[in-house]
Amino acid sequence: MTAQTQTIREPHRLYLREEQIPTRWYNLRADMPVKPEPMRLPTGAVASKADLSPVFADALIDHELDDATPYFDIPEPVLEMYRVYRPSPLCRAYNLERALNTPAKIFYKFEGNNTSGSHKLNSAVAQAYYAKAQGLTNVTTETGAGQWGTALAEACAHYGLDLDVFMVKCSYEQKPFRRNIMETFHASVTPSPSDTTEVGRRLLAQDPDSSGSLGTAISEAVERALHVPENRGRYQLGSVLNQVVLHQSIIGLESYEAMRELGEYPDIVIGCAGGGSNLGGLIAPFMRDKLTGARPDTRFIAVEPESCPSLTRGRFAYDFADTGQTCPLCKMYTLGNGFIPNPDHAGGLRYHGMSPIISQLKHDGYLEAVAVSQTDVFEAGERFATLETILPAPESSHAILQAIREAERCRETGEAKTILFGLTGTGYFDMVAYDKFNRGEMEDHRPTDEELEQGFATIPRIEGIQ
Amino acid sequence: MTAQTQTIREPHRLYLREEQIPTRWYNLRADMPVKPEPMRLPTGAVASKADLSPVFADALIDHELDDATPYFDIPEPVLEMYRVYRPSPLCRAYNLERALNTPAKIFYKFEGNNTSGSHKLNSAVAQAYYAKAQGLTNVTTETGAGQWGTALAEACAHYGLDLDVFMVKCSYEQKPFRRNIMETFHASVTPSPSDTTEVGRRLLAQDPDSSGSLGTAISEAVERALHVPENRGRYQLGSVLNQVVLHQSIIGLESYEAMRELGEYPDIVIGCAGGGSNLGGLIAPFMRDKLTGARPDTRFIAVEPESCPSLTRGRFAYDFADTGQTCPLCKMYTLGNGFIPNPDHAGGLRYHGMSPIISQLKHDGYLEAVAVSQTDVFEAGERFATLETILPAPESSHAILQAIREAERCRETGEAKTILFGLTGTGYFDMVAYDKFNRGEMEDHRPTDEELEQGFATIPRIEGIQ
């Protein structure tokens, strides 16, 4: 292969062959020198499988709690669905490189080539499969920008599961087509907070005009799952959880193999970070090499929005996963479960916390984080679209922006670094935001220190823990 | 390769390698026993290069008029753009086959993996390149459902050309996001008919409430191109023309090569038909085999909407390419340049005429045509989306529906036929129509014989010709 790449230029888009799709997910926790802290109940006790089984499918709890097993086999029916839309391509951004006049090589892993339009389908297929295999009938979830809800709707339609989606109200109103596509896959979609759950009614009583948050929608979805008769309902989440990062390792494993075929290895790996699912999946095998000392110098950069800066301005603490404070707590960088980003914030990446795996890696110095403004993000996204023929989701454009900045730095220093970033999805459902940007009406929002303090005040104190 | 396919199952999605992208377009006219009739002026004279050069870029006129040269080299800069988003995958619809319980093998060529979301980019890149290479500065065009406008906006942004798009008014109003995405690529978008052109004002005077038609938008775009100072503007069209079918042959050539690698050959090739660009491109090399006698038994099926049935209910006659009757005339199946499909018709495929190449093949018995209802089309599209993880454009769903019907026929007869259809694009901008369908509010529209007669009355009589 090396001989070939010496004579033939690297392709714009490298697709692995179908039989190269990984057959196991990689569990990065197994190689972390300091493991992420365990999920805890409000009492402070570590959450057990029995505690979690009313909420999550059994196999998924095993994925969630196991921080020692390095690989999990991907079930054949899940692989069969992966084969319909995977492998996703590893792309070389030649046009972007030329436009930047940079000596850097810029690669991106493009996860937008499926109906859901994003990487979210990788975990949705797995979660829906395990629910079906357990004999469950109903699934509930939340969605913000709508990518996760679309992905899970697609997966549930495939496996014949009923799906209730609680969609953050401001997204529900800004993105009617996101609702339509979920309904096309037979999902039921409710704007959150809603009056259909106890927790929704409680939160509406406190703030009748609430534009909603992921944390609130999670509370509602969990409550709904617990009320499905005969214990046949479960809740599923599209990011943050260890299980999701595990499933998303398929992104990194394919990227790793594709770069190996090209004889390349990234100096810098960049991903957008909301709950951390894409970032955790993309970096997994490269971070393994860093943690084991095989490739100690690789840099990892999480890019988050200024308007929801959990990694760059949050606290590393145990916090509830949801605003209704009905879920277990995770040790993570958090803005406080009561933090609600400015509703003007476009796209996803609006969760108050961050994957415990990503949080731990950041805390231990293995991963950097930067926060960027949304006008810069959209400018980078439009530039990329014109050059590379893919209209990126705003989330993905966070990574694009940082990749551009790193490549420009290479132009200054003359270093021919190899950059890899995750292009998580397409922006077809984000045209309202693109339009706003094009009309010059998009604003940037950076929470004040006071606003952050209000969020931090919602982080619980737990005796003996924090 | 045969040895391999005997041991390894055919992949779900076969991507050719980048170096397998065809370097020449194939000109099906060269192998047609009866050539398509030439374009003519309203006087009846055959249109010459000199006649066309104020309207089309010079190299594109060569593509348009040459019915003898079998191959045209693809310029390197066009190939370079093709490499950014091509080859497109040839997919095997395993899930659909299983759901239909059919012995048939169903393949589809998926052209939706680029920002424009459809095959239209294949010709847009070529047309924009030739305009740029000729030193032109401005391009004008029309768009109906918006796929072509998006593709040309993307191509013009890439080559640095100014683009004016006239968008059929009912689409402009139903699909604001289509406008937004074109504007993201710096195009200027005007609803048609408009008061910005003479022909638009004339048509508005006749019918102030006109919902527009492709034929009208074409008239406006041509007029605009002719008014660009210093002869630096040209008009470009996304379908119908011979040049477009030539560029779109890339679809068929890649499909042909991919099927060859799999050791397969289609018994039936199916494409949706509006202006005929995708269909003409997809079938090109397979039709060559039929015309030369190498594969005489292959069936070719054009699928059109009942609401705009040019091939199944139109007349084979010379007609104006545009409603304003300012363009040359083509010999084609036509409903009359004054025919306007019911505005309730969702998606594209709303042109009054049909590619002269496709028309001639139909007329000479090499190609079948069927017309289908839009509720059947959306039902097939949703079924496909659930099974194959791609949300199809309504246009593409016409081909899906027919593929399903042919596969069901195989289930009845027990014949294990190989079916290939063109999946031209994605339906992300068609959620209003999907929603209408899901709410049970979509209606079917079949023009009455009287309505057709009104359209036919606008077909001109030309002395000595017809």
Give the model confidence (pLDDT) of A285-324 as tens digits. Answer: 999 999 999 999 999 999 999 999 999 999 999 999 998 8
Tally of structural domains, chain B: 2
Residue B6 has pLDDT above 50, yes or no: no
pLDDT band of B9, cuts 50, 70, 90? confident
Model pLDDT for residues B135-184, shown as the tens digit of each residue: 999 999 999 889 999 999 999 999 999 999 999 998 898 888 999 999 99
In a domain, B33, yes or no: no
List the 170-199 stretch of B: residues with Cβ below 8 A of A. Answer: 176-177, 180-181, 183-185
Q: Is A407 on the interface with B (CB under 8 A)?
A: no
Whether residue B259 is found in the same domain as residue B381: yes
* Rounded Cα distance, B440 and A281, in Å: 40
Residue B194 has pLDDT above 60, yes or no: yes
pLDDT band of A113, cuts 50, 70, 90? confident
Question: Using the beta-carbon criterion (under 8 Å), do B386 and A185 form an inter-chain contact?
Answer: yes
- pLDDT reported for residue A326: 87
| Full DSSP string of A426-461 | B-TT-HHHHHHHHTT--------HHHHHHHHTTSPP
Q: Is B75 on the interface with A (CB under 8 A)?
A: no
In a domain, B7, yes or no: no
Alpha-carbon dihedral sign for residues B137, B141, B147, B150:
positive
CA-only gyration radius of chain A, Å = 21
Average pLDDT over residues A402-406: 98
Average pLDDT over residues A179-189: 94
Residue B4 has pLDDT above 50, yes or no: no
Q: Is A83 on the interface with B (CB under 8 A)?
A: yes
Which chain B residues are closer than 8 Å to A13 by Cβ? 18, 84-85
Q: How far is A223 from chain B (nearest CA, A)?
A: 28
Residue B124 has pLDDT above 60, yes or no: yes
Token pair belonging to B282: 């997809």
pLDDT band of A7, cuts 50, 70, 90? very low
Model pLDDT for residues A369-393, shown as the tens digit of each residue: 999 999 999 999 999 998 998 999 9
Q: Which residue of A has its CA nearest to B157?
A: A386
Whether residue B231 is found in the same domain as residue B99: no
Whether residue B60 is found in the same domain as residue B206: yes
State the complex-level ipTM.
0.90
Residue A207 has pLDDT above 70, yes or no: yes
When mean pLDDT is compared across A218-227, A270-279, B6-15, B182-191, the lowest value belongs to B6-15
Whether residue B206 is found in the same domain as residue B289: no
- pLDDT reported for residue B142: 96
- pLDDT reported for residue A8: 53
* Rounded Cα distance, A430 and A346, in Å: 8
* Rounded Cα distance, A154 and A32, in Å: 33
- pLDDT reported for residue B358: 98
- pLDDT reported for residue B113: 86
| CATH number of the CATH domain containing B447 | 3.40.50.1100
Whether residue B191 is found in the same domain as residue B62: yes
Which chain B residues are closer than 8 Å to A154 by Cβ? 385-386, 389
Whether residue B127 is found in the same domain as residue B255: no
Q: Is B115 on the interface with A (CB under 8 A)?
A: yes
- pLDDT reported for residue B114: 85
Which chain A residues are closer than 8 Å to B83 by Cβ? 11-12
In a domain, A158, yes or no: no
Which chain B residues are closer than 8 Å to A428 by Cβ? 117, 177, 181, 426, 428-429
In a domain, A47, yes or no: no
Q: Which of A85, A386, A390 sits opposite B157 (nearest CB)?
A: A386
Whether residue B216 is found in the same domain as residue B259: no
Residue A233 has pLDDT above 60, yes or no: yes
Question: Using the beta-carbon criterion (under 8 Å), do A85 and B428 form an inter-chain contact?
Answer: no
Average pLDDT over residues B250-264: 97
pLDDT band of A115, cuts 50, 70, 90? confident
Q: Which of B18, B115, B432 sits opposite A389 (nearest CB)?
A: B115
Residue A6 has pLDDT above 90, yes or no: no
In a domain, A60, yes or no: no
In a domain, A194, yes or no: no
pLDDT band of A465, cuts 50, 70, 90? confident
**Spatial CB neighbours of A155, under 8 Å, sequence gap ≥ 6:** A81, A121, A124, A125, A127, A128, A129
- Residues above pLDDT 70, as percent of chain A: 98
Average pLDDT over residues A269-287: 97
Question: Using the beta-carbon criterion (under 8 Å), do B177 and A15 form an inter-chain contact?
Answer: no
Residue A72 has pLDDT above 90, yes or no: yes
- pLDDT reported for residue B7: 40
* Owning domain of residue A415: 73-117+242-456
In a domain, A374, yes or no: yes
- pLDDT reported for residue A202: 94
Q: In 3D, which of B159, B133, B122 has the Cα closest to residue B25?
A: B122
Last residue of one domain, picked from the residues B178, B209, B235? B235
Whether residue B249 is found in the same domain as residue B341: yes
- Residues above pLDDT 90, as percent of chain A: 87
Q: How far is A377 from chain B (nearest CA, A)?
A: 14
In a domain, B323, yes or no: yes
Selected residue of A10, A86, A94, A115 to mutate for chain B interface (largest B Cβ count, 10 A): A115
Whether residue B138 is found in the same domain as residue B255: no
Selected residue of A4, A80, A184 to mutate for chain B interface (largest B Cβ count, 10 A): A184
- pLDDT reported for residue A133: 98
Q: Is B388 on the interface with A (CB under 8 A)?
A: yes
Q: Which residue of A has its CA nearest to B382?
A: A184
* Rounded Cα distance, A14 and A20, in Å: 12
- pLDDT reported for residue A236: 97
Question: Using the beta-carbon criterion (under 8 Å), do A389 and B94 form an inter-chain contact?
Answer: no
Q: Is B386 on the interface with A (CB under 8 A)?
A: yes
Residue A2 has pLDDT above 80, yes or no: no
Whether residue B107 is found in the same domain as residue B67: no
* Rounded Cα distance, B145 and B169, in Å: 10
Residue A5 has pLDDT above 80, yes or no: no
- pLDDT reported for residue B8: 53
Last residue of one domain, picked from the residues B214, B235, B256? B235
Whether residue B154 is found in the same domain as residue B196: yes
Token pair belonging to B449: 């014989």
- pLDDT reported for residue B466: 85
Model pLDDT for residues A346-368, shown as the tens digit of each residue: 778 889 999 999 999 999 999 99
Last residue of one domain, picked from the residues B175, B205, B235? B235
Q: Which residue of B has its CA nearest to A383?
A: B185
Q: How far is A109 from chain B (nearest CA, A)?
A: 14
Token pair belonging to A336: 């406080």
Residue A392 DSSP one-character state: B
Model pLDDT for residues B59-115, shown as the tens digit of each residue: 999 999 999 999 999 999 999 999 999 999 999 999 999 999 999 999 999 999 887
Within B260-360, strands assigned E span 268-272, 299-305, 315-320, 329-334
Which chain A residues are closer than 8 Å to B81 by Cβ? 389
> A121-133 vs A76-85: helix axis angle to the nearest 10?
150
Phi, psi of A341 (to 5 degrees): -65, 155
pLDDT band of B347, cuts 50, 70, 90? confident
Whether residue B141 is found in the same domain as residue B280: no
